[in-house]
């Protein structure tokens, strides 16, 4: 199973996520918002150095289904440029912002920027609504299964506080949090 995080928010919360992952030998995929990564490029290097993976989550986290083909392409291209600038690579993965599923327009724009796939998810605890750590834990664990892709957010305290418990229960269930590349390769 894969824990994926939308990358934005307070860098200290990201560092707490990275520590929790290290403590539980878990690996994650972070879909970085380009503006966030451009402001703190060392976070990209830190995420990769810890054995995690980075993907593109657009430049400025727009509602992608509402964008024109040109604007969607620009969001994806600028996000890819921010990843390249911070890490030397645009990453393998793209996740559209503002929607759980890509559209034909989004997929075409992603393809023009070199992304062969748009990544969705099957578990969404809606942690971005800040329901509190107990809700993030219960909503995540109620739906996660082998092969699941979970959508979480770095910039939310409830998510950060929930993560150690989520990781402990996953370990007890023998579910190993892996990067998307490892999940989809194995």
CATH number (domain holding residue 40):
3.20.20.370
Domain of residue 49, residue span: 2-185
Instruction: Assign residue 113 a region (left: φ > 0; alpha: ψ between -120 and 50; beta: otherwise).
Output: alpha
Range 114-123 burial, b when 16+ CB lie within 10 A, else e = ebeebbeeeb
Both tokens of 98, joined, read 């503002």
Mean pLDDT, the chain, integer: 97
Say if residue 125's pLDDT is above 90.
yes
pTM over the 0.75 mark: yes
Say if residue 186's pLDDT is above 80.
no
Q: Provide the number of structural domains found in the chain.
A: 1
- In this prediction, residue 32 carries a pLDDT of 98
pLDDT band at 75 (very low <50, low <70, confident <90, very high): very high
pLDDT in tens, 127-152: 999 999 999 999 999 999 999 999 99
pLDDT in tens, 43-53: 999 999 999 99
């Amino acid at each position: 199973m894969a824990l994926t995080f939308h990358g934005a928010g307070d860098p200290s919360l990201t560092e707490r996520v990275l520590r929790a992952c290290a403590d539980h030998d878990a690996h994650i995929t972070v879909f970085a918002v380009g503006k966030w990564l451009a402001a703190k490029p060392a976070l990209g290097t830190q995420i990769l150095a810890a054995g995690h993976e980075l993907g593109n989550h657009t430049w400025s986290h727009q509602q992608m289904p509402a964008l024109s083909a040109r604007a969607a392409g620009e969001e994806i291209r600028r996000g890819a440029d921010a990843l390249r600038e911070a890490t030397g690579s645009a990453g393998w993965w793209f996740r559209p912002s503002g929607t759980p599923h890509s559209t034909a327009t989004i997929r075409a724009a992603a393809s023009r920027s070199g992304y062969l796939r748009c990544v969705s998810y099957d578990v969404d605890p809606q942690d971005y609504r800040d329901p509190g750590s107990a809700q993030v834990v219960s909503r995540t664990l109620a739906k996660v299964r082998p092969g699941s892709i979970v959508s979480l957010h770095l910039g939310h305290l409830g998510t950060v506080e929930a993560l150690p418990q989520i990781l402990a229960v996953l370990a007890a269930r023998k579910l190993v949090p892996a990067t998307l590349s490892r999940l989809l390769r194995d």
